[in-house]
Every structure is written in structure tokens, then in C-alpha cells.
């Protein structure tokens, strides 16, 4: 495989694991971290002690605190910035010559929806392309799939989807990601893949709550959890087609059912954990409503993307008149309108 130059923007767990995997595959990879201790930890100890502690990183992965340096003269840039800071992060390197000319192919790992100036949801690629030069219109690539950072860092076999309206770029990023431990496939349905990546986190929060209640419940069990997951996939598909998804197989592939399954069931899943904490630690008692939770999410101690995405899913459902009982029940739970038991019983009593 021909070695490529890659810049990773964002040294969180997922960005770090992706950088390590690409370096393991022989690519020249440099990652940008805002925190000086993360830069030093990666460069000196080949470990990201802040965001991915305990995992040895390939020595070919180097780090820098200079975002323009990381973006300069790279054939590929992969952005792993949190959704709330996506546009502002891109603006820090948008004047680099290879970005101005459109020479560099740009992909995204960021999950969820991004609020616009009016607080309404936008897609990740839409947000990126509005911050990038005009030459990137309809050419950026979304990367998704059942891919917890911890297992990617260990080199465990993981499947990914590279989705774009620009078919050639989707294939180029697919080929870049075909390194030991990663199996990558191109998709030409970027809207469907982005919806799957965002909304599966909403379903996983409900799944986590159900899973916690099933430990002591006489009415909830494995059958109920499978019922919830299947119904959740239907809601993801409903949103996807309403937003402009083009390929039904998106929802039955690894970007749909695959990502939903691992997010709901994996021990690494923060959204599953958040759902469990709602039951086991009375997590929601710390917040007045969903807006308070989003504004003070640091009080959770980790980032439950599904709680944030739930707000935007509700806005989409209202705008497009969609019936999404699972997403609606979680929205009402997070707004403290329903108790967890009322939330779940409301779902199972719908027939």
C-alpha cells in the first residue's frame, strides 16, 4: 500500500485511535491536540493519557499543538472535533494553501447534529462545507460504523463506512482506511449514514435504561431489549428517509444495524452508560430539564451524545411530523416530564 500523508484534527479517543490505526498501516500521520499534555504524552510516551489511557500507540503517530502545521501539505485530513466546535476548529486552518486550493481530501469522524445560528440541526458535512472553501462543496467524506476507539486502538477488526456525494472521494478515503484491523466500504448515501451515526446514540440511551431496569424487573428481559433495538432501527430509518437518505441498505448495513448494535450493547458505550446511570444513580436529578443538561453536560462526567442529539431529533420530528415513540419518550424523560418506568411503559403499551 502506498503511504499517504494524513492530518488528524482532534486528539480525543476516536481521533487518536484512528491516527494510531493509520500509522500502524504505514501512513505518515500527525495529530493536532489543543492540550499540551496530550501532545507530550503522544510524542514521548506513545499514549494519550488524557483521552485514551492505557493503550499503546504506534510510534508513527506524532502530535502537534499547531493546527496549521498539522493541516499543511497533507493529502488527507480527518476531523474528529466535537460537533459544537466543528466550524470554529475548521476556521483555524482554512487558509492553509492546500485547503484553499482544494488539494486535500477531507473526512469527518464527528458524530451527531450541529446546531446552526438559530439552534436548528445541521448535518456534520453540511457544517464542514459551509466553513471550508467553495471547492469542497459536496466533496467531503463522512466516516462511521461500529467502531469504539478502544478496540480500534488495539487493532481489533472493525468495519467502517466512508460516505460522500463525491463518489471518487468516498472510494479514496475507503482505500486510505484499509489498513490492518480496519475493513472499509464506500457509500454514496451520506445523509443516511450521518442520520444513523447520530440517532443510534438516542436509542442507546433508552437501551441502557432498559438494561439497568431488566436486572431487577419481572417484565423486562432480553426479548424486550431486542424489541427495542428493532423498533429503534425503524425510527432511525424513518428519520433518514425524511431527511433525504437515498439507499435503504444504509440502514441494514454496518452504518445502521451494525453501529446501533454495538452502541447499545458494548461496555465502552457512553450512551448506554448514561441510560444505566439514569436508573442506577438518578443522574437526571442533577438537571432541571434537557436544556439544563446540555448546558451543564460536564456534570455528567462524560459526553452522552444521545442526550444532545435527542433535542435535535425532537425538532426534526416536529418539523416533519414524524411519529417517533422511542425518541419522543426519551425527550420527555430528559425533560423530567416522565419517570423512567413511565417512559418504558408508555412504549410497551403502544399497540
Which residues make Cβ contacts (< 8 Å) with residue 109, sequence separation at least 6? Answer: 10, 14, 15, 18, 78, 79, 80, 143
**93 in helix, strand or coil?**
coil
Q: Which of 74, 111, 200, 311 is catalytic?
A: 200
**Residue whose C-alpha cell is 439514569:** 278
Instruction: Give which of 192, 310, 194 is closest to 244, Cα–Cα.
Output: 192
User: From the centroid of its chain, how far is CA 150?
Assistant: 14
Give the 3-state secondary structure percentages of the chain, helix then strand then coil, rounded to 5.
55, 15, 35
**Ranges assigned E (strand) in 39-109:** 61-64, 76-79, 105-108
CA-CA-CA-CA dihedral for 199, 202, 207, 208, to nearest 10: 130
Respond yes or no: is residue 200 known to be catalytic: yes
86-273-312 Cα angle (round to 5): 40
Which residues make Cβ contacts (< 8 Å) with residue 139, sequence separation at least 6? Answer: 102, 105, 129, 164, 165, 166, 169
Catalytic residues: 200
Amino acid at each position: 500500500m502506498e503511504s499517504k500523508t494524513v492530518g488528524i484534527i482532534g486528539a480525543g479517543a476516536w481521533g487518536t485511535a484512528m491516527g494510531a490505526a493509520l500509522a500502524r498501516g504505514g501512513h505518515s500521520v500527525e495529530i493536532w491536540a489543543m492540550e499540551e499534555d496530550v501532545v507530550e504524552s503522544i510524542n514521548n510516551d506513545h499514549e494519550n493519557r488524557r483521552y485514551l489511557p492505557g493503550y499503546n500507540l504506534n510510534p508513527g503517530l506524532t502530535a502537534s499543538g499547531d493546527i496549521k502545521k498539522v493541516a499543511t501539505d497533507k493529502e488527507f485530513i480527518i476531523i474528529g472535533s466535537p460537533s459544537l466546535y466543528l466550524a470554529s476548529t475548521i476556521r483555524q486552518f482554512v487558509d492553509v494553501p492546500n485547503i484553499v486550493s482544494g488539494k486535500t481530501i477531507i473526512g469527518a469522524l464527528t458524530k451527531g447534529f450541529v446546531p446552526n445560528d438559530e439552534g436548528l440541526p445541521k448535518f456534520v458535512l453540511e457544517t464542514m462545507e459551509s466553513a471550508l472553501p467553495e471547492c469542497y462543496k459536496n466533496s467531503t467524506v463522512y466516516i462511521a460504523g461500529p467502531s469504539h476507539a478502544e478496540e480500534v486502538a488495539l487493532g481489533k477488526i472493525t468495519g467502517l463506512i466512508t460516505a460522500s456525494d463525491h463518489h471518487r472521494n468516498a472510494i479514496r478515503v475507503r482505500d486510505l482506511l484499509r489498513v490492518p484491523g480496519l475493513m472499509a466500504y464506500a457509500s454514496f448515501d451520506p445523509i443516511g449514514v450521518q442520520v444513523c451515526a447520530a440517532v443510534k446514540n438516542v436509542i442507546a440511551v433508552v437501551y441502557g435504561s432498559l438494561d439497568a431496569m431488566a436486572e431487577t424487573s419481572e417484565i423486562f428481559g432480553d426479548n424486550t431489549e431486542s424489541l427495542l433495538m428493532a423498533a429503534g432501527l425503524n425510527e432511525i430509518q424513518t428519520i433518514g428517509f425524511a431527511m433525504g437518505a437515498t439507499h435503504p441498505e444504509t440502514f441494514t448495513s454496518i452504518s445502521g444495524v451494525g453501529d446501533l448494535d454495538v452502541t447499545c450493547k458494548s461496555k465502552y458505550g457512553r450512551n448506554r452508560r448514561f441510560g444505566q446511570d439514569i436508573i442506577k444513580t438518578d443522574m437526571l436529578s442533577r438537571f432541571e430539564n434537557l436544556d439544563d443538561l446540555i448546558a451543564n453536560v460536564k456534570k455528567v462526567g462524560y459526553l452522552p451524545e444521545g442526550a444532545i442529539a435527542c433535542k435535535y431529533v425532537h425538532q426534526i420530528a416536529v418539523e416533519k411530523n414524524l411519529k417517533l415513540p422511542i425518541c419522543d419518550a426519551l425527550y420527555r424523560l430528559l425533560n423530567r416530564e416522565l419517570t423512567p418506568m413511565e417512559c418504558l411503559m408508555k412504549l410497551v403499551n403502544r399497540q
